[in-house]
Amino acid sequence: MLMVSNACGESTPPAITVGAVSFTEDELLGLSPTRRTILAQLTALALSVSDSSTAQLGEPLLEKWENDRLLDIFAAELTLMKNGVDDAVLEAHYLTDPEWDLTVRHILFFSERWRDPSHRLEARDKAGRAMELLYEGADFGETASQLSEEPGAEGREGLLTPGREGSWVPEFWAAALSLQPGEISPVTETQYGYHILRLEDRQTVPFPEARTVVSRSVANRIEDPRAILQAWLEDNAGETEDVLQSKALAEAIRLDLKVPAGEITELARAWDDITYRWSTALGFRYGLSTSEIANAALGALASSSQNATIARNELAEHDAMLRVRYEFTFSSPPG
């Protein structure tokens, strides 16, 4: 069994330290400098999975994604201004295809897509039996309280906070959007399991709140907003790329442009999906001890499965972000 080098009485200096986890030279069995860097990256991810802090780990990436989305909104605004498109035109366009705010109750039978077929079948059968009860006239809220496996469903009778596009995974949103108030959906599969939805209410999102979505839709029909943004940036030639981006973001903020809350939720969920896929492929889970994290990281480094290889390669692209969250220390510089 691997022993972490920060144990009491350990005299051998660590060859690698990541957060609270360390490896001695003997434990690394002659790993190349490149493999040591990969091991450090894996250890950082395992640490964040073990204490459920992947959201904090991803903060730098989420900030970048949100800034990129804000630049898209700014580019659309520049395009509209260049072409003389005002809010009256945008609102007329919006009324032909409005955004919706949906209020939904649902019943969930957990069975993530990585589960084995028997688990999936059992969850789907539970959903089928719940549908039979609803067809026979059972109250939806009471059924959700009794059967839904979502935490807190009993007290809320399956009622969710009202959501807009991007607030929920695509399959769930599509099922909810297809309903009229009072209607119940067929059993709907998502990455979390099997759902039954009932639409309680649908309201049109006020135009001012949906404006950034409309502006991008209209701008993309006129010309390439990114080309317009690039032209705006070139007017500030001589500055570094980071300075130019900062100026563009500052101008977007001055214009009071914002990334819609639903899109921010969507970005956070995308990061959750990525870390969930990585942790599943690499064998990391919540609640691991320090020594278990070290063993899990070494096991993930040695794994030859295709999914583990993909996860390691993708994780390596975020080395800088991992080092923001956890300090990497090597006894000699890695290659």
**Amino acid, single-letter form, for residue 196:** I
pLDDT for 159 equals 94
pLDDT for residue 316 is more than 90: yes
* pLDDT at residue number 191: 87
Q: 100-204: which CATH topology? A: Chitinase A; domain 3 (3.10.50)
| Per-residue pLDDT band at 4 (split at 50, 70, 90) | very low
CA count, 13 A, side-chain hemisphere, 315: 30
pTM across the whole model? 0.78
Using pLDDT thresholds of 50, 70 and 90, give the confidence band for residue 2.
very low
* Distance between CA atoms of residues 196 and 159, nearest Å: 12
pLDDT at 334: 60
Q: What is the pLDDT of residues 168-205, one digit of tens each?
A: 989 999 999 999 999 999 999 998 899 999 999 999 99
- Looking at residues 148-160, what average pLDDT do you find? 87
Q: Give the rounded percent of residues in the chain with a pLDDT score beyond 70.
A: 95
pLDDT digits (tens, 9 = 90+) for 100-135: 999 999 999 998 877 788 999 999 999 999 999 999
| Contact assessment for residue 283 and residue 303, using Cβ atoms and an 8 Å cutoff | yes
Note whether 218 and 90 are within 8 A (CB).
yes
CA dist., res. 307 & res. 329, Å (int): 28
Residue range 21-56, pLDDT digits in tens: 999 998 898 899 999 999 999 999 999 999 999 999
- Residue 237 is predicted with a pLDDT of 65
- Above 50 in pLDDT, residue 3? no
Per-residue model confidence as pLDDT tens digits over 51-80: 999 999 999 999 999 999 999 999 999 999
Q: What is the largest CA-CA distance in the chain?
A: 74
Return all residues near 262 (Cβ < 8 A) that are at least 6 apart.
Answer: 163, 164, 165, 166, 167
What 255-261 contacts at long range (C-beta under 8 Å, 24+ apart), as own/partner pairs, is: 255/74, 255/77, 257/70, 257/73, 257/74, 257/77, 257/212, 258/70, 258/73, 258/212, 259/66, 259/69, 259/70, 259/73, 259/212, 260/164, 260/166, 260/209, 260/210, 260/212, 260/213, 261/164
- CATH 3.10.50.40 domain extents, the chain: 100-204
Give CA–CA dist 76/213, Å, rounded: 10
Q: Model confidence over 199-222: pLDDT tens digits? A: 999 999 999 999 999 999 999 999
For the segment 249-277, the average pLDDT, to the nearest whole number, is 91
